[in-house]
Chain A
Amino acid sequence: MRPRIGILDVAVCNAIGDGTRYREEGTDSVVTMNSQTSTRTEAEMIAAILAGDTQLYHDLIRPHERSVYMMALSFVKNEADAEDIAQEAFLKAFRNLATFRAESKFSTWLISITLNEARSRLRRQTIIRMESLDDPPDEGGVVSPAMLRDWHEIPSEAVERQEIRQMLQEAVISLPTIYRQVFQLRDVEELNVKETAEALGISVPSVKVRLHRARMMLQKQLSPLLKSVNSSPKRRWLPWL
């Protein structure tokens, strides 16, 4: 029997811009370091910003740029609109930083602001959507997985191939919004179930149901495609050509 490990047993370490973020082992604290500032926790940075060192806000948000943008993109599916929403969300977060309460994580708070900004933007623009933002489709029913007899692990390096990346992008984009958001927060941003529920304003059981369905939908769509890519005959190497 092969050992079954948690899928999230992956190092939480992202290099973004000139800042590096890591999650301190066993804690929820995100520490930001860069060449200009010494190591400071987010809480210390926020206190300093509120005390008048506003330039620190640049450093505070660097580790969150990607997650805020991706969350906006999950709503509007349009890069320009997503960027606009992300910028507005960061500005609103700055203007309302004094209202941030340390009982929630800064990242979760930012995501909530982003979601509110995206929702109000969509309402203002009266974009016609196939699904309502407030009334999610029926969460019942079962998503059957793609049937396989075996599976040969595809290494992460495969993501460097454009065709694979496009395949993965299309699968994620094709997820209904409510599933894509939960997938983004849980599996990409690695928020826990409670934080995800808090950020989206839904219950913990809803997070679990939506995450399960999102994962099964991705497995169903991607497994056959990835399997065929993986099993395609290798190009023969003809050294004399």
Chain B
Amino acid sequence: MVIECQHVWGYISDYLDSALPENIRLDVQKHLEHCEICSAILDSTRNVIILTADERVFELPGGFSERLHARISLELKGTGIG
């Protein structure tokens, strides 16, 4: 089945997650083979996700771990597990 660009955009997330039913996945793939716009949208989406999900984008505040474990140490001294 021939599908249009707007339909492909709606499938991009599931396509990236390999979560599309096989028949739709094949239709999307066929479309991508000849549509440079949708192909670029797909590639940019994948790239953007990988970059934004990178651990270096958001770092833990300095001393976070030390403060957390100091507080937990206090808790461990004071109480047992409920």
Contacts and interface: CB of A to CB of B under 8 A. Distances in A.
Given A57-B76, A83-B67, A208-B14, A7 B49 contact: yes
Contacts of A144: 9
Contacts of A108: none
Q: Which of A91, A151, A160 has the most CB of B within 10 A?
A: A151
A219 B49 CA distance: 8
B81 A1 contact: no
A71 B16 CA distance: 23
A127 B71 CA distance: 26
A164 B47 CA distance: 13
Contact of A212 (B14, B39, B42, B73): B14
A148 B73 CA distance: 53
Contacts, number: 170
Contacts of A187: 49, 52-53
Interface of B: 6, 9-10, 12-19, 29, 32-33, 36-37, 39-58, 60-61, 64-65, 67-69, 71-73, 75-76, 79-82
Interface of A: 1, 4, 6-8, 10, 14, 17, 49-50, 54-55, 57-58, 61-62, 65-66, 69-70, 73, 79, 83, 86-87, 90-91, 94-98, 142, 144-151, 153-154, 156, 158-160, 164-165, 168-169, 171-172, 183, 187-188, 193, 208, 211-212, 215-216, 218-219, 222-223, 226-227
